[in-house]
């Protein structure tokens, strides 16, 4: 199976996630927000994304494949593994007569270094974009010198899939998938101590 047959299994299930919250700076109330990505994984509109994208948001919405924007809510999250599950407002989905598509999931235990993979998401808040690469390491452990951004930390108990596929701001929360069109990971970029992406 090649990428042209793998992409249609995941592409329609990819969403752009907009997260907003209220913060206070120098006594001033400000509404701040950002964009990330996510992937629908069932008929009930559940979406897997990064915790740093959605876990601290007060308001969530998702832009679907048909460009419809739908409200969402946080179901649960784990900052240590940087994963969160959100759910679309299914009443709104039904009102707008949206037919949801969800992506199949594979088994990340069966990936190996050198396997071809594709990363999909909404870099810089743009519409869906795809990059390709390989599995660089299937069980990477992050040191204390690297973090997930936003003040989030991980632990040595957790392993990560490393890929050389391009992951840019906004790709976070999008799917990493194999040539069978099965999701095997969720994308996040590692931030260096100086604050920039280090290409991992």
Active site residue 82: yes
Active site residue 147: no
Considering only CA atoms, which of 85, 106, 94, 90 is closest in space to residue 40? 85
Rounded to 10 degrees, the C-alpha dihedral 171/174/49/144 comes to: -60
Q: Which of 52, 61, 122, 131 is catalytic?
A: 52
Q: Which of 82, 122, 129, 131 is catalytic?
A: 82
Q: What Rg value do the Cα atoms of the chain yield, rounded? A: 16
Find the angle CA(47)-CA(36)-CA(142) to the nearest 5 degrees: 90
Q: Which of 61, 129, 131, 172 is catalytic?
A: 172
Considering only CA atoms, which of 18, 6, 2 is closest in space to residue 104? 6
Considering only CA atoms, which of 161, 143, 165, 163 is closest in space to residue 153? 143
Coil vs helix vs strand at 38: strand
Please give the DSSP secondary-structure letter assigned to residue 81: T
In whole angstroms, what is the distance from residue 53 CA to residue 174 CA?
10
Half-sphere exposure of 11 (CA within 13 A, CB side): 13
Active site residue 144: no
Active site residues: 52, 82, 172
């Amino acid at each position: 199976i090649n990428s042209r047959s793998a992409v249609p299994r995941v592409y329609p299930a990819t969403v752009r996630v907009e997260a907003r919250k209220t913060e206070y700076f120098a006594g001033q109330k400000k509404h701040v927000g950002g964009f990330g990505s996510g992937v629908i994984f069932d008929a009930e509109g559940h979406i897997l994304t990064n915790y740093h994208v959605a876990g601290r948001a007060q308001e969530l919405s998702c832009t679907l494949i048909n460009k419809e924007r739908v409200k969402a809510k946080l179901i649960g999250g784990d900052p240590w593994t940087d994963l969160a599950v959100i759910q679309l407002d299914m009443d709104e989905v039904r009102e707008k007569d949206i037919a949801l598509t969800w992506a199949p999931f594979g088994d990340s235990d069966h990936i190996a270094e050198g396997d071809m993979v594709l990363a999909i998401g909404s870099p810089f808040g743009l519409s869906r974009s795809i990059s390709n690469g390989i599995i660089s390491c299937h069980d990477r452990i992050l040191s204390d010198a690297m973090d997930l951004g936003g003040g989030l930390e991980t632990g040595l108990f957790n392993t990560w899939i490393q890929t050389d596929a391009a992951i840019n701001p906004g790709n976070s929360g999008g799917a990493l998938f194999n040539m069978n069109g099965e999701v095997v990971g969720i994308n996040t970029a590692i931030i260096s101590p100086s604050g920039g992406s280090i290409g991992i």
